[in-house]
């Protein structure tokens, strides 16, 4: 997307560019996602699979006129060497009014795919609102970290970098 179009769109809307980098030693697989506010941009997608050593950039945007802006979570999974599955939850919040934030969590428990009203999403949204511009999570040899920074040239745009890594993933 060009900067002029971004600036015109962002005047009354939030835009979040998220880059996920996979350093797990294996392919990570899309599990689920949840929009707290806004939606994935029409030209973007969450990659169904992301190979080790690769990254993927997508755009999430707020709903025009909604001050909640762009806020969502995406969850990826990988099978560990011992056969168990780890889940990486990567989330961001980029409101029109207020501070932008990121939150990541890793665990062995799956996130609900079919129920957007499941209490876990409300709890995660609350945790996200109390987080900061950087966040790290570690669990059983897995690590994920996220950073976020406001764009200097486009209003209401935040760039988020997320990295997932694991020393003992199975390829």
List pLDDT tens digits, range 156-171: 899 999 999 976 555 4
Predicted local distance difference test score (pLDDT) of residue 114 = 64
Predicted local distance difference test score (pLDDT) of residue 117 = 79
Predicted local distance difference test score (pLDDT) of residue 34 = 94
Predicted local distance difference test score (pLDDT) of residue 1 = 46
Predicted local distance difference test score (pLDDT) of residue 142 = 87
- Mind listing the domains of the chain with CATH numbers? 3-166 (2.60.270.20)
CA atoms of 107 and 74, how far apart (whole Å): 14
What is the separation, in whole angstroms, between the first and last Cα of the chain?
Answer: 34
Dihedral (CA of 126, 130, 136, 138) sign:
negative
Predicted local distance difference test score (pLDDT) of residue 6 = 47
Of 147, 75, 131, 134, nearest in space to 108 by CA: 75
Predicted local distance difference test score (pLDDT) of residue 171 = 46
The three-class DSSP label of residue 76 is strand
Predicted local distance difference test score (pLDDT) of residue 14 = 93
Predicted local distance difference test score (pLDDT) of residue 2 = 47
* Kind of pairing between the strands at 101-107 and 85-94: antiparallel
User: Is the pLDDT confidence value at 8 over 50?
Assistant: no
Predicted local distance difference test score (pLDDT) of residue 116 = 72
Average pLDDT, the chain: 87
> Can you tell me the mean pLDDT for 72-96?
91
> Can you tell me the mean pLDDT for 90-106?
94
């Amino acid at each position: 997307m060009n900067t002029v179009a971004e600036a015109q769109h962002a005047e009354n809307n939030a835009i979040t560019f998220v880059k996920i980098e996979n350093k797990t030693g294996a392919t990570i697989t899309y599990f689920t996602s949840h929009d707290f506010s806004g939606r994935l941009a029409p030209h973007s997608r969450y990659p169904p699979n992301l190979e080790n050593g690769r990254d993927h950039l997508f755009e999430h945007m707020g709903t025009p006129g909604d001050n909640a802006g762009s806020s969502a979570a995406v969850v990826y999974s990988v099978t560990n060497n011992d056969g168990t599955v780890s889940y990486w939850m990567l989330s961001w919040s980029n409101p029109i009014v207020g501070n932008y934030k990121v939150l990541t969590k890793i665990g062995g428990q799956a996130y609900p795919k079919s129920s957007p009203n499941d209490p876990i999403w409300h709890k995660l949204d609350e945790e996200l609102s109390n987080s900061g511009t950087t966040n790290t999570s570690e669990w059983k040899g897995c690590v994920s970290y996220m950073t976020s920074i406001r764009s200097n040239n486009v209003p209401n745009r935040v760039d988020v970098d997320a990295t997932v890594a694991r020393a003992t993933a199975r390829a």
